[in-house]
């Protein structure tokens, strides 16, 4: 299997088919090389590695994104915990590390985003 095929499979497994289908539908000739790069590099190499679990990678990713202030990506990866096995408690602990090592304001914002994301996920899971 090529790195792109592995990356696509891994990305779908973590973020879900709907997210990947949306990203693919929104890809243009301008950003297609970037999409290929993240599919092969991030998803086909880093996320597909066999040393860390998806749960561990999820926690690391959320902490890094929170520390760097990438709010949309924090929400996306909190949502992905439904597929990675990282629990709310895991995310809380990762964000506590953010508070100590990257600052309370970054963690405070990430906690707010995580709470909103978990609430939206719970609302979506309720039968209509």
Q: What are the tens digits of pLDDT across the range 57-83?
A: 999 999 999 999 999 999 999 999 999
Question: In terms of CATH architecture, what is 53-128?
Answer: Up-down Bundle (1.20)
- CATH 1.20.1290.10 in the chain is located at 53-128
Using alpha carbons, select from 56, 72, 73, 60 the residue that is nearest to residue 102: 60
Using alpha carbons, select from 55, 52, 45, 54 the residue that is nearest to residue 6: 45
Q: What are the tens digits of pLDDT across the range 25-37?
A: 999 999 999 999 9
């Amino acid at each position: 299997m090529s790195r792109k095929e592995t990356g696509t499979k891994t990305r779908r497994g973590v973020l879900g088919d709907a997210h990947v289908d949306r990203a693919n539908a929104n890809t243009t000739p301008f950003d297609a090389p970037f999409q290929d790069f993240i599919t092969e590099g991030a998803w086909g190499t880093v996320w597909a590695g066999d040393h860390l679990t998806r749960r561990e990678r999820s926690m690391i990713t959320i902490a890094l994104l929170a520390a760097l202030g990438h709010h949309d990506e924090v929400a996306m990866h909190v949502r992905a915990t439904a597929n990675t096995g990282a629990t709310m408690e895991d995310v809380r602990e990762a964000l506590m590390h953010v508070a100590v090592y990257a600052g309370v304001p970054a963690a405070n914002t990430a906690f707010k985003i995580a709470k909103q994301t978990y609430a939206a996920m719970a609302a979506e899971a309720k039968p209509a």
